[in-house]
Chains A and B, each alone.
Chain A
Amino acid sequence: MAATLCGRLFPKQGWLPLTQSVRHGSKAVTRHKKPMHILKQKLMAVTQYIPPKPPIPRGAYPPKIITVKEETGLMLILKKQVKTVFQDCKMIAVIQNNSINSEDMLTLKRRLHKHGITIKFIPNEVMRSFLQNGIYYNLLPLFIGHTVLMVSKEPKAKELLLSLKGSPQMVLLGACVENTLLSAEGLLSYSRLPSVSVVQGELVSGLTMLTSRTAALLQRHPAHLSALLQQYVRQQSPEAGGEQEAPKVEETV
């Protein structure tokens, strides 16, 4: 076989190739596996590796040594970012993303940017490791699947909800507004609340209602006040007044 090959390899006189590959021990077509010689088969069968059986089957007991994965550098950087986000931003909303279109995503981003809300994409692993050792651990069950964080410095719940109405694939799961955890319904009712000054005004007016009434009474003519007090005394003692009246009637009679 080598001889036939050699005949083909030197067609022209004085032309020697640099490398010669001589196939030895195999036929022309080597696509199918060569059947092993019976002796080799026997040898392989006898010398087969039999792994030692473990005394306890795998998975029967929890592992004694708990391996803690070292956090990669990227994870640490992202963790720091998340920490700053939680410190700076007053409103953090967690939204599930059901495969939104890229165009819809862009329009949503633009709409939110007008109100100062930014969208953050953070891997679930980083979020979980950050939330486990903090005060926000109740947010842990939210981070399953494809989630997206929408954060803003000012708590603009109304604008967020209006923008999310336009994209049905983004599902609001929960939010953390000013260190208070809110559900989706909670955020909705939060958005419907009037502003702080209005609420304060209502509270103050409710508390001072009684005192303002007495002040108004005293400012009027004193005859009015005395008439009111007399009426009050009459109402207070109806029985005593009835007993007094009965003997008076007898006297007259």
Chain B
Amino acid sequence: MAAVKHSLVVLKTVKKIVVQFCPFESNAKSTREFLVMVGSERARSTNMNCVVTTLVKHNKSEPLVDITYVDGDRLLMNSAKLTCSEMFKAFHSRCEAKDPHAKVKK
């Protein structure tokens, strides 16, 4: 499942991704998995201008994923109760909608 996802991550339409979580909380697991997926080499190679930032907090705040697209749109995901696959589906559907002609490198 993870292998399939890694090949599908295309960041061409994404400008910036900010991932924020508290590692000592139990609800950060899906956020960390999403971060690994998005920060993988393959994903990064699709767009070298996209910046993936990680903020590690310790204030019992909810984990958050903030994606800024090239055309100014923002996608905010409160990932406390979301699974990694759900987050990826939401992110991927929006990426595809923005740029349907982008071909996936395999």
| A contacts, CB < 8 Å to B | 94, 96, 98-99, 101, 138, 141-142, 144-146, 168-169, 171-174, 183-186
Contacts and interface: CB of A to CB of B under 8 A. Distances in A.
Contact of B24 (A101, A138, A168, A171): A138
A54 to B, nearest CB: 28
Contacts of B33: 145
25 contacts: A96-B23, A96-B32, A96-B35, A96-B36, A98-B39, A98-B40, A98-B52, A99-B41, A141-B24, A142-B23, A142-B24, A144-B28, A144-B32, A168-B52, A169-B39, A171-B35, A172-B56, A173-B23, A173-B56, A174-B23, A183-B24, A184-B56, A185-B56, A185-B58, A186-B58
Contacts of B28: 141, 144
A172 B32 CA distance: 12
A138 B32 CA distance: 18
Dominant secondary structure of chain A at its interface with chain B:
mixed
Contacts of B56: 171-173, 183-185
| Among all A-B residue pairs, the 9 with the closest Cβ atoms | A183-B58, A98-B39, A173-B23, A184-B56, A171-B54, A99-B40, A99-B41, A142-B23, A145-B32
B92 interface: no
A146 B39 CA distance: 12
A128 to B, nearest CB: 14
Nearest to A182: B58
Dominant secondary structure of chain B at its interface with chain A:
mixed
A110 B21 CA distance: 30
Contacts of A94: 23
Given A172-B56, A185-B58, A186-B58, A99 B25 contact: no
Interface in B40-75: 40-41, 52-54, 56-58
A142 to B, nearest CB: 5
Given A172-B56, A183-B58, A98 B35 contact: yes
A146 B2 CA distance: 14
Contacts of A184: 56, 58
Given A98-B35, A141-B26, A142-B23, 9 more contacts: A94-B23, A96-B36, A98-B52, A99-B39, A99-B40, A145-B32, A146-B36, A168-B52, A174-B24
A172 B54 CA distance: 10
B98 interface: no
Nearest to A101: B41
Counting chain A CB atoms within 10 Å of each CB, the highest count among B25, B26, B58 belongs to: B58
Interface string B1-41: 00000000000000000000001111011001101100111
